[in-house]
């Protein structure tokens, strides 16, 4: 088990840091902090520009909505099925089910 009294005595005899070494470390940290601020401003500018680019890209498209009403009579109580193209919508693997009222 370590001797705690020896640790306390060793901590009391800490060598002071020379003034020149301290000033050099502080100057280095100031340069680093300045570079980090510049980097932060560049990242914010790029974020804003990317959002503006997406807004410009999305505004190029026009949203077109169309609805169609299809009425068809059926004999009995069955369902009518449409296979093919409905108002310019090509047929797919599925078919459209139109139930009679």
Domain range for 87 is: 68-101
HSE of 3, CA atoms in CB hemisphere, 13 A = 4
Single pTM value for the model? 0.49
Confidence of residue 12 (pLDDT cuts 50, 70, 90): confident
Q: How far apart are CA 93 and CA 53, in angstroms?
A: 37
Same domain, 44 and 9: yes
Q: What is the pLDDT of residues 31-80, one digit of tens each?
A: 999 999 999 999 999 999 999 999 999 999 888 877 777 666 666 666 66
Same domain, 12 and 33: yes
Same domain, 85 and 39: no
| Residues found in the chain | 101
Give how many domains the chain has, as a whole number. 2
Same domain, 87 and 59: no
Same domain, 7 and 51: yes
Same domain, 73 and 56: no
Q: Is the Cβ–Cβ distance between 52 and 68 less than 8 Å?
A: no
């Amino acid at each position: 088990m370590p001797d705690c009294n020896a640790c306390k005595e060793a901590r009391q005899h800490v060598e002071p840091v020379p003034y020149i070494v301290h000033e050099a470390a502080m100057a280095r940290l100031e340069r680093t902090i300045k570079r980090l601020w510049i980097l932060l401003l560049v990242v914010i500018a790029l974020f804003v520009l990317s959002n503006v680019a997406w807004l410009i890209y999305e505004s190029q498209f026009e949203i077109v909505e169309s609805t169609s009403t299809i009425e068809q009579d059926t004999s009995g109580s069955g369902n009518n099925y449409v296979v093919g193209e409905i108002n310019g919508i090509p047929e797919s693997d599925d078919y459209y089910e139109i139930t009679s009222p």
